């Protein structure tokens, strides 16, 4: 008998036979557990990550634990818009449908620098990458509807600030501050996308996983801080397989069918930020994001 916890209400037995799901950053942590959960339900699962060795190891572990061999891997680096476009192109070439997209990739403690795409590395990995991937894959999600998108955010969004003219500045924000800004952007993007895709059959949600037993601070350069913070996460965090029930819940459960655009924590709608109610800000962030990731006329389904 399972002990009652914050995720008990998330549990369901919804089958996923015949469905196709992409989980980014699924080589470890929450993403790995989500992919494993989907596989056990019968879904075809595509793991997107930048490390081929880790992806193969995760794939084999998922097959072994689930008995589902319909698991594939594709290289995906959110630090490169070119990589994201290549990944999306491969999906269109090889997958006739896509039912679920879990934007799980995230990192803290990355170097304060701009990428080749002229975006701040922290913002690109934690926000712009998910924005571009979701925008590119939306037409496939729409033709595969009913479909769902889940954006993994963080409680730190409450400390975030969006300055559209300085989102990608180097030296302006601390590493933690930029992380907070990126997680706020994930929420605003979710709210605005929901407005723009009404009636498409695609639902989009955001969620805060809370503390989990993971080495989330692995990218910190300071070895002492990295070890202390990771030890704290492993000590105080919640079990990864339990935390993973929430994105699975949002991706599958009929109880949230009418909650598209909402933010969740521990299986229930949760306050995100008053910024999410600022329709002008969410609109401007959406348009600015399209501009910064260079959405082409051919890619822009809003023009069609």
Gap between the Cα atoms of 202 and 225, Å rounded:
41
Collapsed DSSP state (helix, strand, coil) of residue 205: strand
Phi then psi for residue 31, to 5 deg, are: -60, -40
Q: Pairing state of beta strands 263-265 and 268-269?
A: antiparallel
Question: Is 179 in the active site?
Answer: yes
- Residue (of 150, 248, 261) closest to 197 by Cα position: 261
Q: Which of 92, 179, 205, 271 is catalytic?
A: 179
DSSP string, 215-237: -TTTT-S-HHHHHHHHHHHHHHS
Gap between the Cα atoms of 50 and 106, Å rounded:
12
Place of tokens 């002492």: 224
Alpha helices in the chain (DSSP H): 29-40, 52-66, 81-94, 121-123, 129-143, 175-196, 223-236, 240-243, 245-252, 279-292
DSSP string, 63-99: HHHH----EEEEE--TT-HHHHHHHHHHHHHH-S---
Place of tokens 């990739």: 105
- Four-CA torsion 108, 27, 65, 4, nearest 10 degrees: 10
- Residue (of 106, 108, 115, 79) closest to 220 by Cα position: 108
The catalytic residue positions are: 179
């Amino acid at each position: 008998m399972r002990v009652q916890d914050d995720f008990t209400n998330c549990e369901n037995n919804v089958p996923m036979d015949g469905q196709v799901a992409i989980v980014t950053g699924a080589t470890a942590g929450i993403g790995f557990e989500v992919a494993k959960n989907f596989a056990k339900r019968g879904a075809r699962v595509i793991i997107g990550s930048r490390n081929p060795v880790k992806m193969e190891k995760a794939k084999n572990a998922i097959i072994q634990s689930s008995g589902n061999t319909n698991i594939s891997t594709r290289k995906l680096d959110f630090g490169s818009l070119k990589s994201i476009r290549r990944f999306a192109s491969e999906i269109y070439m090889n997958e006739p449908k896509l039912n679920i997209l879990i934007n799980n990739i995230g990192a803290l403690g990355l170097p304060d620098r701009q990428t080749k795409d002229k975006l701040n590395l922290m913002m690109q990995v934690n926000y712009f990458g998910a924005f571009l991937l979701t925008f590119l894959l939306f037409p496939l999600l729409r033709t595969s509807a009913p479909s769902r998108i889940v954006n993994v955010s963080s409680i730190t969004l409450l400390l975030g600030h969006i300055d559209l003219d300085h989102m990608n500045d180097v030296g302006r924000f601390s590493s933690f501050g930029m992380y907070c800004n990126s997680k706020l952007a994930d929420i605003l993007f979710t709210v605005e996308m929901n407005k723009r895709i009404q009636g498409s059959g695609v639902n989009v949600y955001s969620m805060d996983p809370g503390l989990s037993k993971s080495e989330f601070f692995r990218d910190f350069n300071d070895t002492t801080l990295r070890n202390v913070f990771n030890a704290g996460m492993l000590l105080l965090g919640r079990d990864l397989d339990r935390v993973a029930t929430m994105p699975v819940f949002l991706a599958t459960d009929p109880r949230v069918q009418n909650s598209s655009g909402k933010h969740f924590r521990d299986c229930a709608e949760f306050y995100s930020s008053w910024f999410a109610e600022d329709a002008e800000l969410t609109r401007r962030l959406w348009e600015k994001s399209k501009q910064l990731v260079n959405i082409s006329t051919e890619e822009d389904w809003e023009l069609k």
